[in-house]
Amino acid sequence: METENVLLVICGTLVLVILINAGILVALLRSDSSGQLRVFGKAIEAVRDPLGKGNREMKELRQRIAKLEKQPEEENTHDD
């Protein structure tokens, strides 16, 4: 009998949490808070890939360095 009460409390709590989260999601989608959704999306992206921005910046830096190294030497030598 006690086990049934515990299961009932657990199921009730789970349903309550799901309903609260669904309510928050519906409220966000109905309001004109697209800016808040973008911030939320950026936060999730940062959690999934915390070094993503740094990696992108390093990749761009490597590409710029490679481009500079490929430039002909004539640009570096000027007649004074």
Q: pLDDT, tens digit, for every residue of 57-80? A: 999 999 999 999 998 765 656 555
In a domain, 57, yes or no: yes
Per-residue pLDDT, 71:
85
In a domain, 8, yes or no: no
End-to-end distance of the chain based on CA atoms, in angstroms?
A: 97
Question: Is residue 59 in a domain?
Answer: yes
In a domain, 79, yes or no: no
pLDDT for the residue 27: 78
Where in the sequence is the domain holding 42, given as residue range(s)? 34-71
| Domain membership flag for residue 66 | yes
- Model-level pTM? 0.39
- 39: Cα within 13 Å, side-chain hemisphere: 5
What is the predicted pLDDT for the residue at 3?
Answer: 80
12 occurs within a structural domain: no
H helical segments located in the chain: 2-30, 34-48, 52-70
Instruction: Report, as ranges of residue numbers, the positions in the chain whose pLDDT lies below 70.
Output: 1, 31-34, 73-80
Number of domains in the chain: 1
